[in-house]
Amino acid sequence: MISKGGSEALLQTLVDSARTASPDYNILLPLLRLLVKVGQRDKKFGKKALELEALDVTLILARKNLSHNQNLIHCLWALQVFASRVTTAAMLGINGAMELLFKVITPYSRKCTRIIRAATEVLAVLLKSSKCRRAVNRGYLNGLLRLHQDWQSHDTSNDFIQIRRSLLLCLKHITNIQSGREVFLGAQGMEILFTTTQKYLGNQSMDAIISIVIQILRKCYPKCSLPLSTASSYYSFSVPGSMSSGPPGTINEGKLYLLHLLLKDDDLETDLKKLTSKPVLSWREEELKQYEAMCLELSHNFQELNSKSGDELSSEEDLGIHQCNYFCNIPTQTSSKKHCQERDQSSQGLETGDTHFQDPPLKQMKIMKSTGDTTYEEGAPGKIGPYLSSNDQEEDSSQREAPNTQASFKEPPWGAEVCSCQNKNTFLSSSIRIDETSETVSKFLERHPMDIPFHNPYTYIAKAEGTKSVPGFKVLAFPDVWGHHSPPFSQPMLERKCGIQRAKIFEDVQRFIHPDKVALCIGGMMFWFLLMGIQVRKGVFEYDLLINADVNCVQHQQWFYFKVSGMKAAMAYRFNVINCEKVNSQFNYGMQPTMYSVKEALQGRPHWVRVGYDICYYKNHYRQNPAAAGAPGKCHYTLTFSVTFPHNEDVCYLAYHYPYTYTALMAHLDFLEKSVNRKKVYFQHQVLCQTLGGNPCPLVTITAMPESNSSDHLQQLRQRPYQVIVARVHPGESNASWVMKGTLEFLVSSDPIAGLLRESFIFKIIPMLNPDGVINGNHRCSLRGEDLNRQWLSPTAQHQPTIYHTKGLLHYLNNIGRTPVVFCDFHGHSQKKNVFFYGCSIKETLWQAGCTADTSIVTEDIGYRTLPKILDQVAPAFAISSCSFLVEKSRASTARVVVWREIGVLRSYTMESSYCGCNQGPYKVSLCSRLWHNTQIAINNIC
């Protein structure tokens, strides 16, 4: 009907019938009903009505029938269809439709509610399309607020929800413009909507009303800047060869803004030449020659195999292991499964709740309320530290707490001064510098013996002393020095309470409306923040926290790691991290922060556990810096969570995710090197390069030792294909390091599958591509303030040394005919659950983009899909439905795409593991360190 000109015929009939001296409503009313049905399906209906002058005719009919309800309501239905088109809505506004509608809906009356409902719906549609400024200028906003109050107060039985909803939609559309928001605030609209909605918060039938109210309140909440003097990081690093020498607040903000705009292009690559061509090798032979020293397994003669018997080697290894009580036997597959079963069994019978702690057998001290000042003083332990780090996940940088630049701290290495027990002298009362830490640890270990696998406090401290950070950190965090291990129970993901985000938003609005009712208290909980530069705003049991930006950056605030002390047990403390950047988070879908309790650790339970309730992540009213946000007007996000601490006067550490430090990695590599069976495992720990900050980037080689140094056995070793595995290019993705930890421990273990893998492959592993970022508490960047995973196209040894030399090593392997069969880059993902791959496929990219290129001429090995398919069968945490093999323009400079395109590695992957955990299979918790075991089984099956 529409394609045959039916709409035009009906509209012309309407115009002709209405313009007669005595319109016949027996014809007009059915005609109007038919026009409404046709108009909802005809996309050009508004344009046709405008051309045939049906708009004017309908308005005239409506004005003539203000006292004839049946005729008027039909006209209003037709006007609603007309108003849904922008061009016709503008013409209706010019012709006085808005004034007509206000006459119909005002003043408040319970009579003719069908007419009022239709009129409010038409007005809402009209205001959505245009003419909001006219409504503001004519004072209609105040009238709408009064109508909303009247209907809200008189409709006690909720019979007229549709009218109230339409009135709120009118307010929502008017407040889309700045002048509308200003008039709304001046008319106390925030107070009116907040007050009139409170009694309906628990009524699910009122969700349609409450959701619109929340949208209006959030939109009209006055935007303001963060309470910071600058959006830049508190720390700056002078980059060698950089032209900029200013403070971080002034460096390259314009360039960052332009860079952000460029990286927003996520279109799929459709240029067939770019997808199929392989760039010419730009490395000279003499440049690649330096990487020969990193492949000693190809030239080593293994004479030591003849110099000592296997028994002597084994005896020396056993002696080396027994000399250190902190080494452990690397578990086999069977023992790991048994451990998991024990953990699952031990978790049965645990009550669901926020805490997984046991009451201490110690007599707790009474709490004395502090009345002291909330600033640091020299030698005054337990005062509030003024600043918080953006990714204080590194003991040397982020997990080691920052010294006050104006006062010399004399703190225990983990700041445990406020946690004391009456019956046991658990903590030393004197303050101890880091150079006295070994003596302190010895005293602690005498009182609290512990045995944590692959951890030795003395080794950790020794490694920490050699680590270089920008701020020059001197204090270590207790969990990093003392160590930790997995709890003997599994933790399911948190079930989110219905309406929690709504409640938090209303609380924010209440603070704005009634600032005088926000009670502040001096004293209370004590904070130690691991990087300086940001204030904490404190209430009685609520704290607003601000995260520091990455070094030399104005953005990347997401990760946090801080210490609190002086708390009261069984009291709810709320923490609000108010300057997050990501638009969404798994904190809205079951993720919780992690916590480490010092008292629990000293009682034999050194665990990082998931804690927190009333967790939500939502947009707030603090404006982002345009240079960081990419456009003006964007706001930050708030992560809010509440914690009930298990002990009085405890010292607890809270983190975004399970921390893993650079020093922990270096200590772990030392333990692995000393504990491997040298008769069976070739383990070579080298330095790939020095970072910008002067820290060594480790390179690990793992394969099976040859049976002898005969030419046949050596040739067999040297013909093994390579796998290259890298991780932690983004410092905030600490879960990547936990996956890497499991990878390393499995590959050197006595598991038969691990032995088969060593005999089949040579593994080149770079466990931390961005040591400086981890050390200095960054979330995403290097010390130059750039994302290293966007520097693979043309890295330089001066500015991106770890990427440059990793790429050089890959080019060297390719140049000598030993191109890796697998390249895998470990990452963490904050938006999805489970574990999944990103790979590269030409045909899938072209198909997804709808490209018209002839893909039949493209020959592509589908082996890139084999590994994910096998993993989907053998790894419960792996989700093939989340995998993607598309090549995007914005990812052209990432490791995955560059290694695939330039080095020619078919199976070049980014492996993403969730911060949150799994929502499938037997693991509905975070078990990342076991994943690589299954990955290697899959690789062994396809190679």
Q: Name the phi and psi angles at 262, rounded to 5.
A: -65, -40
Task: Provide the CA 2 distance to its chain's centre, in angstroms.
Answer: 49
Q: Is the dihedral of CA 487, 489, 490, 493 positive or negative?
A: negative
Adjacent-strand bridge partners of 268: 888
DSSP assignment string, 235-294: -----TT-S--S-TTTSSHHHHHHHHHHHT--PBP--HHHHH--PPP---HHHHGGGGGG
* Pairwise CA distance, residues 330 & 336, whole Å: 10
Query: Which whole-number Å values give the CA distances from 914 to 341, 411, 446, in the listed order?
Result: 22, 36, 39
State yes or no: is 649 an active-site residue.
no
DSSP assignment string, 616-629: EEEEEEEEPPHHHH
Helix (H, G, I), strand (E, B) or coil at 121: helix
* Pairwise CA distance, residues 457 & 441, whole Å: 7
Q: Six-digit token pair at 579?
A: 């300057």
Burial 739-754 (b: 16+ CB within 10 A, else e): bbbbbbbbbbbbbebb
Q: Is the bond preceding 471 in cis, omega lying within 30 degrees of 0?
A: no
* Pairwise CA distance, residues 742 & 935, whole Å: 11
Helix (H, G, I), strand (E, B) or coil at 768: coil
Query: Which whole-number Å values give the CA distances from 676 to 325, 748, 786, in the listed order?
Result: 15, 6, 37
Tell me the CB-side half-sphere exposure of residue 88, using CA atoms within 13 A.
Answer: 27
Helix (H, G, I), strand (E, B) or coil at 848: helix
Q: Name the phi and psi angles at 761, rounded to 5.
A: -140, 160
Helix (H, G, I), strand (E, B) or coil at 679: coil
The DSSP output letter for 786 is S
* Pairwise CA distance, residues 436 & 6, whole Å: 91
Q: Which residues contact 938 (CB under 8 A, 6 or more apart)?
A: 867, 870, 871, 874, 875
Q: Six-digit token pair at 521?
A: 């208290």
* Pairwise CA distance, residues 458 & 833, whole Å: 37
Cβ burial, residue 588 (10 Å; 0-12/13-18/19+): middle
Name the residues annotated as catalytic. Answer: 912
